[in-house]
Amino acid sequence: MSQTASSLLTTPAHTSQHNTLLRQTLASMNQIILGKEQTLRLALTCLLARGHLLIEDQPGVGKTTLSHLLARVLNLDFQRIQFTSDMLPADILGVSVYDQNSASFKFHPGPVFSQLVLADEVNRATPKAQSALLEAMEEYQVTTEGETHPLPSPFFVIATQNPSNQIGTFPLPESQLDRFLMRLEIGYPNQADEKALLKGRDRRELLKEMEATLTPAQLLEIQSVVPQIHVSDALIDYLQKILSFSRHSSCYRNGLSPRAGIAILRCAQAWALLDDRDHLLPEDIQAILPATTHHRLQPSVALAEQGQDEVVSHLLTVPLD
């Protein structure tokens, strides 16, 4: 905890300064991807809470654009890995090659050595390749041939999955889904926004003209403030009620893990920070609850025919006190 970061809470001047930056960031993002304010805010929340993002949606709704956009406004270096069924871990992590001049093996870092990594269609690759990425996500470092290489900081992975057309895919198992802090859908734009999109300029070109609104250093600083957002005992009680509901209710096959509880708390804190507050409210938890629990919960047999969104929404009915 650095001096500047901790004094953020006590001196409002700093907070508002950071908040201006965050507001600008959100505003520029909304210029590129139209009508998805809530989704963009959640994506940024996930990033501020130091988590990785899973996007499940149809092709063409803007998954790749969103990744490019985040890399652009946050001034992060960006790599895209297109996952295929013949992919090997070395394609992601990098390889050691014999160097004749120095007469030794030299490590050539793979595409994962980047601040923002887009893992496109992660379910196309074999579990072996998937787990190479997921391990890197968890450990923030890559170990090959006995050598450990730290990943850059900040390090943020956006993985995408195509929910339909599941033939020949290897869907991520629950245990690995849990590594993603949030799971988002982008969805189709509404009519007015689509009209603006169709009439407007090419999004890729617009992206190139965009200015970064945050430096990686500023991002790291804001990330360090997130855990300091005050959480009152009343809210801890509320969160525990939600967790206990997920574990005891007949709606779900399995309850939320303690890791999920921490994920909810961190995301809610980041959400509160984006809302320019130094304390958490029940509304913050409710806002990020679907995105953080959707991929972690399986409906019980009784609710099998309900949609996953509906299943998750039961959590929101847990009374406050």
Partner 1 sequence: MKRDLAHITTSRTTTLWLLAALLLAFAPHTLRLPLTISALCLLFGLWRFSIERRPAAKLPRRIVRTMILCATLVIVYLHYGTLLGREAGIALLATMLALKLLEMRTVRDYIVVILLGYFLAVTLVLYSQTLPIAAYMILVAFMLTATLIDLNLQQEKRSVQTRLQVTGKLFVQAVPIMLILFFLFPRIPGPLWSLPDDAHSGTTGISDEMSMGSISNLSQSNRIAFRVAFDEQIIDNTLSYWRGPVLWQTDGKNWRAGPAATSGALSYRPKGEPVHYTVTLEPHNRKWLYGLDIPATVPPQATINRDFQLITQSKVKELTRYEMSSYSEYETGPLTSDERQRALQLPTSRNSRAVALGQQWQQRLQEPEKIISHALQYFNQQPFVYTLKPPRLGDNPVDEFLFNTQQGFCEHYAASFTILMRAAGIPARIVTGYQGGDFNPIGNYLIVRQRDAHAWTEVWLARQGWVRVDPTAAVAPERIEQGAETLFSERFNRQSTLQFDSMFLTTGWLRLRYGWDTLNNSWNQWVIGYDTLKQSQLLSRFGIDSIKQMAIIMVIAIISVLTILQLLAMRRSRKKQDLISSTYQHFCQKFAAIGIQRQPHEGPIDFSQRIIAARPDLAPQVLQISDLYIALKYRPRHTQQQIKQLQQQVRRLKL
Residues making contact with partner 1 (CB under 8 A): 1-3, 6-7, 10, 230, 232, 234-235, 278-283, 286, 316-321
Compute the distance between CA of residue 60 and CA of residue 183 in angstroms, rounded to an integer: 18
Provide the β-strand partners of residue 144: 147
Q: What is the token pair recorded at 61?
A: 């709704």
Closest to partner 1 by CB, 16 vs 232, is: 232
In a 3-state reduction of DSSP, which class is residue 62?
A: coil
Rounded least distance, CB 161 to partner 1, Å = 30
Cα-to-chain-centroid distance, residue 145: 29
Rounded least distance, CB 279 to partner 1, Å = 5
**Torsions phi, psi of 282, nearest 5?**
-60, -35
Closest to partner 1 by CB, 7 vs 141, is: 7
Closest to partner 1 by CB, 75 vs 286, is: 286
Closest to partner 1 by CB, 23 vs 277, is: 277
Are 117 and 77 contacting, i.e. CB atoms less than 8 angstroms apart? no
Provide the β-strand partners of residue 60: none
Compute the distance between CA of residue 118 and CA of residue 62 in angstroms, rounded to an integer: 13
Rounded least distance, CB 41 to partner 1, Å = 16
Closest to partner 1 by CB, 146 vs 319, is: 319
Peptide bond into 319 cis (omega under 30): no
Rounded least distance, CB 39 to partner 1, Å = 20
Among the listed residues 249, 250, 264, the one whose alpha carbon sits nearest the alpha carbon of residue 295 = 264
Rounded least distance, CB 310 to partner 1, Å = 16
Closest to partner 1 by CB, 232 vs 240, is: 232
Rounded least distance, CB 47 to partner 1, Å = 24
Rounded least distance, CB 317 to partner 1, Å = 5
Are 254 and 300 contacting, i.e. CB atoms less than 8 angstroms apart? no
Compute the distance between CA of residue 244 and CA of residue 319 in angstroms, rounded to an integer: 12
Closest to partner 1 by CB, 112 vs 285, is: 285
Strand ranges inside the chain, DSSP E: 53-56, 78-82, 94-99, 104-109, 116-120, 141-144, 147-150, 156-161, 182-184
Compute the distance between CA of residue 285 and CA of residue 295 in angstroms, rounded to an integer: 17
